[in-house]
Amino acid sequence: MKRAPPAWLQATPFTAVMLLFFIAPLLLIAAVSFWPLSDYELIPGFTFQNYATLFEGCASLQDPCVTLKTYASTIKFSLVTWALTLVIGFAIAYFLAFHVRSLTAQTVLFVVCTIPFWTSNVIRMISWVPLLGRNGLVNQTLQAAGLTSEPVEWLLFSDFSVVLAFVHLYTMFMIVPIFNSMMRIDRSLIEAATDAGASAWQTLWNVVVPLSRTGILIGSIFVITIVMGDFVTVGVMGGQQIASVGKTIQVQTSYLQFPLAAANAVVLLAVVLLIIVALNRLVDLRKEL
């Protein structure tokens, strides 16, 4: 009988891929973040000046520095997008899992939800411009209905348009894991709650939500981490007028300030990891999966 190769040998290809394409780039970015800042070339060395530059003037809480303001803006976008995608994603996943009985219908509706992913993110973002612009369809409709006398300015190139694009782009990342968790729920538990006299809302809150927490956590991690590092959406939908950490790093790299951008990336990674650790304190994924 042929024996299977040892576990360490089976894990070697995966480990090699992780080291080459994940761990090594992170270590390189961390190393570059300590190199001296130069306008024309990368000079290996060791200095904390890049981190000092990032947080220069941040000691005063009454007048936060640019870095703190940028991180506050990015976290604001992440939390608002997370809340909206959670509500929308949970509602859609609940409908697909509990109100659509046919497996074929579930599959068809699920595929319909993925249709926007068949095109580029940039194309999906640009599609909002003719709708939300000064002479766009929304403003024309509002003026034709007599609801406004002039175009609404905040529909485009504003915080509203950025959040709208985020929700449009990333709600699916919340739907999929929540739907997967809901499909694993034993339907007899729902029937037992109903037989015990629980209302639909009580069943939802006391049975469905707790049993869907793994999917909620995974979806939350997806959405928050993607939004925290996004710079394309903020640039396009914000009209290059709204700051975010990802946008700052993109600008720094465009000006060849690689050590400073690397330091900013390390700080961003630390913030995202802290958020993930905080979320994991609510649900232990290792036990739930």
Positions of the chain with pLDDT lower than 50, given as ranges: none
Of the candidates 247, 117, 93, 256, which has an alpha carbon nearest to the alpha carbon of residue 181?
93
Q: Measure the CA–CA gap between 166 and 104, rounded to whole angstroms.
A: 30
Q: Measure the CA–CA gap between 242 and 198, rounded to whole angstroms.
A: 47
For residue 143, the model assigns a pLDDT of 86
Q: Is 118 exposed, middle or buried (0-12, 13-18, 19+ CB in 10 A)?
A: exposed
CA distances from 271 to 201, 267, 277 (A): 36, 6, 10
Note the Cα 29 to chain centre separation in Å: 22
pLDDT tens digits for range 127-149: 888 888 888 888 888 888 888 88
Which CATH superfamily does the domain covering 61-288 fall into? MetI-like (1.10.3720.10)
User: 279: number of CA atoms within 13 Å, CB side?
Assistant: 22
pTM: 0.86
pLDDT tens digits for range 261-276: 999 999 999 999 998 8
Are 223 and 170 within 8 A, CB to CB? yes
Q: What's the full length of the chain, in residues? A: 289
Are 19 and 28 within 8 A, CB to CB? no
**Segments making up each domain of the chain, as ranges:** 61-288
Are 178 and 219 within 8 A, CB to CB? yes
Q: Measure the CA–CA gap between 79 and 220, rounded to whole angstroms.
A: 10
